[in-house]
Structure 1
C-alpha cells in the first residue's frame, strides 16, 4: 500500500465533511436511545468519545465552536464508516496492510530500544562555552559574496573572457556560459587569509584564494580547477560579525548534543556488531 493513499483518503473524508456530506443523516442513524456519558456518537455499535472530538479540534488550533465540534464529529463518523467498511471487506489481512503494520511495529520497537539503551554524554555549560571560544578564535576577518562562471571548454573560456573585456555585463555572460546549477551566484562565505585547505567553505582552494585577493567589483580568472575553468567577480566583502555567546549558545548546545548522540549511536552499533555474526 502506498503511503500517500492514507493521506488521500483522509483528505477526501475531510473535504466531503466540509462540503456538508450527509454523514449524520445516513440510513440507520439511531436517535431514540440516549448516548452514554462522554460519547458523541455511535457508529455500528462503535462509540466515538467526546475526547476524540476534543483531540481533533485541538489539532486544528482553532476555538472549539459548536460548528467546529459538529464538523469534527462528522469527520470522525466518516472515518469510522470507511474503516469499518474496509475491515468488513477483510482489507486488514491484505499483504500491503501487513507490510505497513510490520514496518510500524519495527519502527516503534527500534525507537523504544534506542530510548532505553542509547546513553549520550550530557553536554555541560563549560563545553558550550569552549565551543563558542573556539568558533570566535577561528572566525575569519571577512565574509565574501562572489559570482562565478565555470566552464569546461577552453574555447568557451576564451570567448567569455573576450566578451568581458569588451564590456559585457558579468551576469549576462554568466547566464550564457555558466555550467553551474545555480548560475554561479554564491552565498556569503567566510574565508580566512591566508587560505588553508579545509577552511574554504567548500570552495576549491584556488578559487578561494582568488576571491580573497579581490576588491568588490573586480574580476579574476580564468582559474584552472581540475578539468574546468572559473572566472570570478567579487560582489561584496564585509567584516565578519560574531554573535554573542548568549545568542549562539543554544545552537552550539544543539550541535554538541547531536555530536554526543552520534558518538553514542556509533558505540552502541559497534557493541552490537561485536556480539553479532555478520556476513557480507
Structure 2
C-alpha cells in the first residue's frame, strides 16, 4: 500500500538548495561551471597570451595560467545556484571557477584525460546528453488543457466521502507477530513505539503515521484511493482513537490500524490546487508519450533477454 496524501497529490513539496562556497569543495558543487570549464579547456589553445600577466580582456574575469575565465561562464555558474546574486557570491563562485581550472590543468598535465575511468565517464556523459536531446525532440506529450485539469479535480472530489481519517498502521509478516503487537497494545504500550519496532508499513519510522484519507461509503471496489479494499473497510468502521481488534490480512502481511483523528472531509478549493493537478497530469502525459516512443522503437528492434 502506498502512503499517498489526501486526493492523490494535493501536497506540493518545495526543496531549498544551499550554497557551498569553500574552495576545497569546489569540485562537483557547480554543475553549470563544469560544462563551462570544458568549453574553456577546448578553447584554451586559441587564448594563449604572450604576456600572461597582461591586462585581462573586457569579457574575462580571471586568467589561470594561459586560460581565461569569462564573464559569461561566471554568470552561468551564478544562475545555476539559484540563490540571491550578490558581490560576495560572485567572488566566491569566481574563486571556485579558478580552483576548478587549476584542478583541470593539473590533471591534464599528468595525463588523467587518458585514464580508463575518465574516458568511460566522458562516454557516459556523451551518451546521456545525446539521449536527452533525442527524447526532447521525439517525445511529444499531449497538451494538458484547463478542461483536463478541472475534470481531474472533479473526479478526485467524487471519490471522497463525508469524513476523512488520519490513520496510523502497523504491518507485520505473520499472524503471531500481529498477535504480539495487539497484546502489547492492550497492555498500554505506545502504538508509535510498536510501529517503529515491528512495522514494515509506510511511515513506520514516523510511528506508523499515514496521510489523511477519505473514502466514499459504502466502500466500493476501485474507489479506495489505492488502499486495499479490506483495509479501507476496516478503517471506516473505527471511531476516533479506535484500534483494530483483529489484524487485517492483505496478502502475506497482517495490518493493525488506528484512527488518530477523524473530521469532516476538507476539500481544497479548485484555484488553490489546479497548478499541482496540472503538473501531475503533465507528468502522466510525459510518461505516456515516452512509453509510446519505446513501443515504436521496439517494433523495429531485435531484443534478446535472459
- Which bin holds the TM-score, normalised by the shorter protein? 0.7 to 0.9
Deviation at 1:63, TM superposition (A): 4.7
Q: Structure 1 residues 275 and 50, CA, compared in 2 at 3 Å: closer, same or farther? A: same
**Structure 1 residue 279 corresponds to structure 2 residue 304:** yes
Distance across 1 between alignment mates of 2:60 and 2:129? 30
- Given that residues 160 and 173 in structure 1 are in contact (C-alpha distance below 8 angstroms), is that contact kept between their aligned partners in structure 2? no
Deviations 1:159-200 (A, max 9, x none): 6555655x6255378369743451433332222212233433
List aligned pairs for 1:43-122, cutoff 5 A: 43-59=64-80, 61-65=83-87, 69-122=90-143
Structure 2 residue ranges without an equivalent (≥5) = 1-19, 28-50
**Structure 1 residue 197 corresponds to structure 2 residue 217:** no
SS of equivalent to 1:219: coil
**Structure 1 residue 223 corresponds to structure 2 residue 223:** no
SS of equivalent to 1:237: strand
- Given that residues 13 and 79 in structure 1 are in contact (C-alpha distance below 8 angstroms), is that contact kept between their aligned partners in structure 2? no
Moved more, 113-122 or 200-209: 200-209
Deviations 1:94-149 (A, max 9, x none): 11111111111111111111111111221222222222222222222221123344
Q: 1:261 aligns with which of 280, 286, 299?
A: 286
Structure 1 residue ranges without an equivalent (≥5) = 1-7, 16-28
Q: Identify which of structures 1 and 2 has the higher relative contact order when contacts are C-alpha pairs closer than 8 Å and 6+ apart.
A: 2
Distance across 2 between alignment mates of 1:213 and 1:154? 22
Number of equivalences: 256
- Given that residues 163 and 173 in structure 1 are in contact (C-alpha distance below 8 angstroms), is that contact kept between their aligned partners in structure 2? no
Equivalent residue for 1:179?
199
Equivalent residue for 1:247?
272
Q: 1:206 aligns with which of 191, 215, 230?
A: 230
Distance across 2 between alignment mates of 1:11 and 1:82? 11
State TM-score, norm by structure 1.
0.76
Equivalent residue for 1:12?
24
Q: Structure 1 residues 202 and 68, CA, compared in 2 at 3 Å: closer, same or farther? A: closer
Larger radius of gyration, structure 1 or 2? 1
Q: Structure 1 residues 126 and 55, CA, compared in 2 at 3 Å: closer, same or farther? A: closer
Distance across 2 between alignment mates of 1:49 and 1:176? 54
Deviation at 1:227, TM superposition (A): 5.1
Q: Structure 1 residues 239 and 43, CA, compared in 2 at 3 Å: closer, same or farther? A: same
Distance across 2 between alignment mates of 1:186 and 1:72? 42
SS of equivalent to 2:245: strand
Q: Structure 1 residues 87 and 197, CA, compared in 2 at 3 Å: closer, same or farther? A: same
Equivalent residue for 1:137?
158
